[in-house]
């Protein structure tokens, strides 16, 4: 790892599987980054226990209204974080101008399909199956002020099988996410991908 790894804050609302995977991949691949703060949107989020086990400082910011986003970005600034990664974060954020291009999210579909308000987790996979689509996958994108709207960094496709349940598809998409999210982070850190306003 480089002498000055990029400092990352990780935002979550649930169990924190993406947090733990990112932490492991950063170490295994010597990605020049360090997860230095975890922020959860609720006190009972399982990701807080994972953060504690991984030795990562953590806080709770409920962020019930987008206007409360400033508290989150203040916490990230105070911790010296240069980037924020969302992994199962279920609150709408207002991104400060100086944070545009530094906030990434992973979504369990091939955006713009099955994105937007209310489209998260198993709800997304249910919609994919109901639509009879042959492929699903995941998308890593820059975050702007709209749900699942910012410019896409990369996508990874996953075949939808005829007998898939929601759980089957969710598991295969998560396996793709475990590859796609660290790769997208590397592309951003290297400068190969840059945020451009739409």
User: From CA 152, how far away is CA 82, in angstroms rounded?
Assistant: 20
Question: Around Cβ 80, how many Cβ atoms within 10 Å?
Answer: 10
Residues 82 and 119 in one domain: no
- Predicted TM-score of the model (pTM): 0.94
Instruction: Looking at the structure, tell me whether residues 89 and 113 fall in a common domain.
Output: no
State the catalytic residue, choosing from 107, 114, 125, 141. 107
Mean pLDDT of the chain: 94
* Model confidence pLDDT, tens digit, residues 129-171: 999 999 999 999 999 988 888 999 999 999 999 999 999 999 9
* Whether 11 contacts 87, CB under 8 Å: yes
d(CA 50, CA 106): 19
CB–CB of 75/39 below 8 Å?
Answer: yes
pLDDT at 3 over 60: no
Residue 130 and residue 84 in one domain:
no
> Two tokens at 119?
């489209």
Q: Who has greater pLDDT, 116 or 135? A: 135
107 flagged as catalytic: yes
Query: CA–CA separation, 67 vs 153, rounded Å?
Result: 26
Q: Domain range spanning residue 132?
A: 107-137+153-191
Over residues 68-110, the pLDDT tens digits come to: 999 999 999 999 999 999 999 999 999 999 999 999 999 999 9
The number of domains in the chain is 2
Give yes or no: residues 34 and 93 share one domain. yes
Task: Establish if 50 belongs to a structural domain.
Answer: yes
C-alpha span between 158 and 136 (Å, rounded):
5
**Mean pLDDT, residues 54-67:** 95
- Whether residue 2 has pLDDT greater than 70: no
Same-domain status, 113 and 70: no
What percentage of the chain carries pLDDT values higher than 90? Answer: 88
């Amino acid at each position: 790892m480089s002498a000055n790894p990029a400092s990352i804050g990780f935002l979550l609302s649930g169990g924190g599987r993406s947090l733990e995977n990112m932490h492991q991949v950063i170490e295994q691949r010597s990605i020049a980054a360090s997860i230095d703060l975890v922020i959860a949107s609720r006190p009972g989020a399982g990701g807080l226990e994972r953060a504690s086990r991984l030795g990562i400082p953590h806080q709770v910011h409920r962020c019930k209204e987008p206007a409360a986003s400033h508290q989150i970005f203040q916490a990230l600034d105070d911790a010296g974080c240069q980037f924020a990664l969302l992994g199962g974060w279920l609150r709408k954020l207002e991104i400060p101008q100086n944070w545009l291009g530094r906030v990434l999210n992973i979504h369990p579909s091939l955006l713009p399909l099955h994105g937007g308000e209310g489209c998260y987790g198993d709800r997304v996979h249910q919609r994919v199956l109901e639509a009879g689509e042959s492929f699903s996958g995941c998308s890593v994108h820059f975050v702007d002020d709209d749900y699942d709207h910012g410019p896409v960094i990369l996508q990874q496709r996953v075949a939808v099988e005829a007998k898939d349940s929601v759980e089957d598809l969710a598991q295969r998409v998560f396996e793709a996410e475990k590859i796609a999210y660290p790769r997208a982070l590397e592309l951003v850190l290297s400068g190969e991908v840059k945020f451009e306003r739409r």
